[in-house]
Chain A
Amino acid sequence: MSVRYLSCGDTAFTVEFGNEISPEINGRVMALHAAIGLAREAGEIFGVIETVPTMRSLMVTYDPLATSRADLQPQVDVLIARGLPVDLKTRRVTIPCCYDDPEFAPDLAEVAERTRKKPEQVIAAHLASPFKVYVLGFMPGLAYVAGLEQSLFLPRRSQPRVRVPRSSVAIAMDMTTIYPFESPGGWHLIGRTPLWMFDQRREEPVFLSPGDSLAFRQIDRKSFDRIAREVEAGTFDWSSLVKRT
């Protein structure tokens, strides 16, 4: 597979691994993201500011006062040629989600109707989907999480909502997401997590990272309220949701 280098001015370039969305291509993106991170830590690559992974490409930003495109591109080529790390450490993250409250899941009935399922089957399909975080963007902490079970694929709502509450769990196309802030949104709301995807009081304010494996766990309203209180108070044990593999 050939790699394309795209110019993004004199402070960045994008390494494009393909023009489609696939786990293989995204795997290479994440591997280069990790490889450049390791090379920076080892002092092997100089002047890189950060790398921004997306579904099919990695943007590398750099300080033109410290390095140049002509210096960096061959170094990135070497990292790719050397063979990218394949056994990336990934986190397995479990997100508790309350589906059975009409306030939290205003679109569940419609999704069920349009996918010819019972609401419980929609929930079961969402719980069974092998999700993976592909990219964060649009707003801090907003993750595009692919892997939705195919029977739930729907286009976005024709009328986006002006206000989607924080922590809403939504689906559209082949993805699911969790809104980190109250914001406008056009996805179908099928539940809500008591977790905050962005909390500036935490040492790591953004909970999800690109590359995370993710699964939802169904909770009832009572558990939701209990966890919500702990999250609000800042006493919730976030590490209980994460397994490193």
Chain B
Amino acid sequence: MSAGLRVVRAGLFDTLQDLGRTGFMALGMPTAGAMDRIGLSLANALAGNPPHTAGLEIGVMGPDLLVEADSVRVALVGPLSPAVIEGPDAAPKPLDSDRSHLLKRGQTLRVGMIEGASTAYLAVSGGFALPPFMGSLSTYSRAGIGGFEGRKLAAGDLLPLAKASVPAGNERRLAQPFDYGSGPLRVIWGPQEEYFSKEGRQTFVEAEYRVSKEADRMGIRFEGPTIAHARSVDKGGADIISDGIAPGAIQVPGAGLPIVLMADRQTVGGYPKIATVASVDLPRLGRLLPGQTVRFTPVTVAEAEALRPDQEARLQRAIAGFVVARPPGGIDLVRLYEENLIDGIVYE
């Protein structure tokens, strides 16, 4: 029997995602990939995986997963609400987020409703034993490709694990929640800011916008004051000759409300794009819940570029700063081992 995680009950939008399928946009292939690359990277690091390993992206409500392997190390990152682990002969107990856990055969992980963010990630040590498609495991469900059979998970699916068992050892946790930043979302004007009137551009950076219910992996529709185009929409003011769409592009169709295009966005499109969300703020955007409000503030390309290394350094520091998640009264096996090893070298 192959080792895996059995989907006992499906969540709402569980798909496997890695950092995206790049290199094929010219063929019309969307990149897909994690909505929140920081969340996925932290989950992978906690599970001991390289950052590009595919994890399970959980939207709104997660699945119940039965461990059909001798053991598996998992890490759940993102939700404020604790998941639950139960069985086979033990009472349910909370399974904390932002740390790794060793699960045994027969246990069931119930992720449940996730709170505090729209997106959470479950990484498994060693990753899933599934074939990449065009170099990536990211699911793009509109074309039925990648991930697990190209779709979101359904009850009965067996997600095959690359490792049938993992050695016991220290579990690790994030020392403190990662700071995704606050304040207005930073945007760079363009590529088509001149398609909007001066008043329209002013509205865009001064008004507050609310995440509508129409928010998914493809894009987030916002509600708020309408953004005026420079020319009459009836005369083509909201039409361009289709051009490429970057992640975070903010297109404004004729109705005047902004749509931020996300991981599953089309490669090209014919609506003018007033601005583009800086890549440093895309993970934050990927976690927004319907009803939450945002503002947009313009920065230059160079300013946005300079923000990324800083965020990357903070991510690496968070990973280097993982602490041992010690059970009450337990000992720190890894530290004991490392210190003994160092002693051995020093005194030999």
Contacts and interface: CB of A to CB of B under 8 A. Distances in A.
Contacts of B243: 14, 16, 54, 56-57, 59
Contacts of B121: none
Identify whether the interface residues of B are mostly helix, strand, loop, or mixed: mixed
Interface in B90-121: none
A200 B277 CA distance: 32
Given A6-B191, A9-B247, A136 B143 contact: no
Interface centre among B150, B267, B273, B280 (most CB of A within 10 A): B267
Interface stretch (B8-16, B23-31, B161-169, B204-212): B23-31
B249 A8 contact: yes
B118 to A, nearest CB: 21
A64 B67 CA distance: 39
A47 B80 CA distance: 36
B266 A8 contact: no
Interface in A108-165: 135-143
A12 B188 contact: no
Nearest to A208: B27
A68 interface: yes
Contacts of A21: 241
A56 B29 contact: no
Given A6-B191, A14-B191, A57-B243, A140 B308 contact: no
B79 interface: no
Contacts of B26: 33, 50-53, 136, 209-210
Contacts of A141: 27-28
Given A10-B279, A11-B247, A52 B25 contact: yes
A179 interface: no
Contacts of A9: 187-188, 246-249, 276-279, 301, 304
B143 A181 contact: yes
Nearest to A135: B268
Given A8-B191, A8-B244, A139 B28 contact: yes
Nearest to A52: B244
Contacts of A56: 241, 243
B241 A11 contact: no
A168 interface: no
A49 B268 contact: no
A55 interface: yes
Interface string A15-29: 010011100000000
Contacts of A198: 143
Interface in B122-173: 133-134, 140, 142-145, 150
A92 interface: no
B276 A200 contact: no
A6 B191 CA distance: 5
A137 B188 contact: no
A50 B305 contact: no
A33 B305 CA distance: 24
19 contacts: A6-B190, A7-B188, A7-B190, A7-B301, A8-B273, A8-B276, A16-B243, A19-B241, A20-B241, A33-B26, A49-B22, A52-B25, A59-B243, A65-B308, A138-B266, A139-B266, A140-B143, A205-B133, A206-B24
Given A136-B267, A210-B26, 18 more contacts: A8-B190, A8-B246, A9-B187, A10-B280, A10-B307, A10-B308, A12-B247, A14-B243, A20-B241, A52-B25, A53-B26, A54-B244, A65-B312, A69-B302, A138-B268, A139-B143, A140-B30, A198-B143
